[in-house]
Each structure stands twice: as C-alpha cells, then as structure tokens.
C-alpha cells in the first residue's frame, strides 16, 4: 500500500462528507491532492437551484481535508490501525472564483509550522485550468482517537 493510499484509508471521513479523491504528492513541506465536484453533491440541491454553486464553507472543508488533515497525518507518521480526530482551529480564506458541478479542484498546501501537534499551512485551491478559486491560511490539529 502506498503512503497516499494509507492516508486515504485512515481519513476519518466518509461520503457524503469525504472531499478527497486523490493525493498526488505529500512530503514534510506540503501536500497536493484533488477532488471533483459531483453533480449530486448534497450541498448543491438547495444552493441556488438551477444554477448550483459550491458554498465557500465546502471549499474551505475541501482545502482542510486535502491540505491540512492529510499533511498532519503524514507528519504524525501514523500506523495502519490508527484512528484520528481532526480539530479545525482557524481559517483566513479568500474566495476568488465560483466553483460548479464537475469542476476538478486541485488543492496545494505548504507547511508554515508543525509544533505541539498544531499544523498551520498556506493553502490554494484551483481548477484544472489553473484558475485559483480560493486561497488562504488554515490551522488545526489531528489527534489520535480511542474510538
């Protein structure tokens, strides 16, 4: 099992709240991954019916799951039986362009610091064509869970 697959397996999210399709790169300094917005996402049904747009809070969550949680899990060097609980602590995100169904989003994070179990990153989210849709700083913790 690759390091990428190990982290995907350990993520504490499940559909419909799992927003990571693939991790394409991860190292001590950052992570890159992607997620494609499906036409049947639960959050699109009532968010501008007939003209669905992904809410900013969901874009932030996508950025957190790919850019923050996967990197924290990598830095913690968890074993295959670990159970984790992410705790999001702060965000400063600018939303720059709308995201619609079938957009493939590529999230890239760069570590600012990881100390005392807290990770802070700069994170960008862009479409496949390079259009940056959101960017900012995110921070949080991933702690081992007993349950």
Cβ-based burial of 88 (10 A; exposed 0-12, middle 13-18, buried ≥19): middle
Rg (CA), the chain: 15
Verify whether residue 47 is a known catalytic residue. yes
Of these residues, 6, 47, 104, 135, which one is catalytic?
47
For the record, the structure tokens of 4 come out as 């990428």
Residues annotated as catalytic are 47
């Amino acid at each position: 099992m690759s390091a990428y697959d190990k982290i995907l397996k350990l993520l504490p999210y499940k559909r419909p709240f799992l927003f990571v399709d693939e991790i394409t790169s991860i190292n001590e300094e950052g992570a890159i991954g992607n997620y494609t917005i499906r036409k049947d996402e639960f959050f699109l049904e009532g968010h501008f019916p007939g003209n669905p747009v992904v809410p900013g809070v969901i874009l932030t969550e996508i950025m957190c799951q790919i850019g923050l949680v996967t990197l924290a899990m990598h830095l913690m060097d968890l074993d295959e039986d670990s159970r984790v609980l992410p705790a999001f602590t702060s965000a400063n995100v600018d939303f720059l362009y709308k995201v619609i169904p079938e957009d493939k989003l590529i999230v890239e994070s760069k570590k600012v610091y990881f100390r005392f179990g807290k990770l802070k990153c700069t994170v960008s989210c862009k479409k496949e064509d390079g259009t940056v849709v959101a960017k900012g700083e995110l921070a949080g913790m991933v702690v081992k869970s007993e349950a």
